[in-house]
């Protein structure tokens, strides 16, 4: 009996065949790198929208990338889709001995610690540092988050969010000092330290910094578009207004949002 995944694999193989689609045949692992990243981000966006139909579609697009890369690899005898799934299944079982074996794990922290131990053993302890396993190709915000999580797992961490807030204040003061007396390199360095401290706070309060920043950016975009619409009704453009005038309208927009939220709760 043919399964949906078998059908998908057959379709991709047909697209890559000598008489298949010219575009699909021209693709390489390198040429599809951007598509893979784009599909991953679009899947995240679908999760944030809480739209099941959109989420399902984007997961399919992301799966297509896996099948496509596997098909291309199989054409040169490197590996197949079955190799990918078999390897993944084996790794999941191997790294969850508390589920598939006799090992006990009291909580998530114990699970993650054991995961790292198994991972290091699998790789033959070739890494000289606990941080070596974090890919440098990750976006800076996600890279910082993973680095701090790795360090925290061995106890190199603040005890409470309050302590991290103190560190943020310290880094903010140093950034202000750099703005007054330092060059551009020093300003960049101190601002980087400030961002890194903020990522640590996000981790301590169990907030995904990437998600939080995307939400904040979305909120800003929505308010700015409302500002543009309000000015358009008055026959004006943002560049024709003073900052004080735009701030006044901005405050009206925020007040309207709060009023609307209050009515919703009531």
Q: Quote the pLDDT of residue 122.
A: 78
Q: Quote the pLDDT of residue 155.
A: 87
Helices in the chain by DSSP H: which ranges? 4-15, 22-26, 33-49, 52-75, 81-94, 97-100, 108-122, 140-152, 161-181, 184-204, 209-233, 243-265
Q: Could you tell me if 84 and 67 are in contact, meaning their C-beta atoms sit under 8 angstroms apart?
A: no
Q: Quote the pLDDT of residue 202.
A: 96
Q: Could you tell me if 200 and 207 are in contact, meaning their C-beta atoms sit under 8 angstroms apart?
A: no
Q: Quote the pLDDT of residue 214.
A: 87
Q: Quote the pLDDT of residue 263.
A: 62
Closest alpha carbon to 48 in 216, 255, 220: 216
Q: Quote the pLDDT of residue 194.
A: 97
CA distance 203 to 145: 7
Closest alpha carbon to 130 in 162, 157, 93: 157
Which tokens go with 260?
A: 């609307």
CA distance 27 to 2: 27
Q: Quote the pLDDT of residue 262.
A: 63
- pLDDT tens track for 243-258: 999 999 999 999 998 8
Q: Which domains does the chain have, with CATH numbers?
A: 4-87 (1.10.287.1080), 94-126 (no CATH), 134-207 (1.10.287.1080), 215-265 (no CATH)
In this structure, what DSSP letter does residue 239 have?
A: G
Render each residue's pLDDT in the chain as its tens digit; 266 residues. Answer: 889 999 999 999 999 999 999 999 999 999 999 899 899 989 988 998 889 999 999 999 999 999 999 999 999 999 999 999 999 999 999 989 988 888 888 788 788 778 777 877 777 666 677 787 788 878 889 899 999 998 998 889 999 999 999 999 999 999 999 999 989 999 999 999 999 999 999 999 999 898 899 889 999 999 999 999 999 999 999 999 999 999 999 999 999 988 776 665 55
Closest alpha carbon to 220 in 253, 244, 242: 253
Sequence-distant (6+) residues with CB within 8 A of 214 are 48
Write out the H or E segment, with its range, that includes residue 205. none
Instruction: Please give the radius of gyration of the chain, using alpha carbons only, rounded to the nearest integer.
Output: 25
Q: How far is CA 104 from CA 99, 101, 110, 111, in A?
A: 8, 9, 9, 9
Q: Quote the pLDDT of residue 259.
A: 75
Closest alpha carbon to 249 in 234, 232, 227, 222: 227
CA distance 143 to 110: 22
In this structure, what DSSP letter does residue 207 have?
A: -
């Amino acid at each position: 009996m043919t399964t949906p995944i078998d059908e998908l694999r057959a379709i991709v193989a047909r697209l890559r065949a000598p008489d298949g689609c010219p575009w699909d045949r021209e693709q390489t692992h390198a040429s599809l790198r951007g598509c893979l990243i784009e599909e991953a981000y679009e899947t995240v966006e679908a999760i944030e929208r809480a739209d099941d139909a959109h989420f399902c579609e984007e997961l399919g697009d992301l799966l297509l990338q896996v099948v496509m890369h596997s098909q291309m690899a199989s054409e040169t005898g490197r590996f197949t889709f079955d190799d990918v799934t078999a390897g993944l299944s084996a790794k999941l079982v191997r790294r969850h001995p508390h589920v598939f074996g006799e090992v006990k794990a009291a909580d998530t922290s114990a699970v993650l610690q054991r995961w790292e131990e198994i991972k290091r053993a699998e790789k033959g302890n070739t890494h000289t540092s606990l941080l070596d396993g974090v890919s440098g190709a990750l976006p800076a915000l996600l890279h910082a988050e993973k680095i701090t999580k790795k360090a925290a797992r061995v106890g190199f961490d603040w005890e409470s969010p309050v302590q991290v807030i103190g560190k943020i204040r310290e880094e903010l003061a140093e950034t202000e000092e750099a703005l007054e007396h330092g060059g551009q390199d020093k300003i960049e360095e101190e601002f980087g330290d400030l961002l890194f401290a903020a990522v640590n706070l996000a981790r301590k309060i169990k907030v995904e910094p990437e998600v939080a920043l995307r939400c904040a950016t979305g909120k800003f975009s929505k308010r700015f578009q409302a500002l543009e619409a309000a000015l358009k009704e008055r026959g004006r453009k943002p560049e024709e207004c003073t900052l004080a005038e735009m701030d006044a309208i901005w405050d009206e927009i925020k007040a309207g949002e709060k009023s609307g939220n209050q009515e919703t709760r009531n």
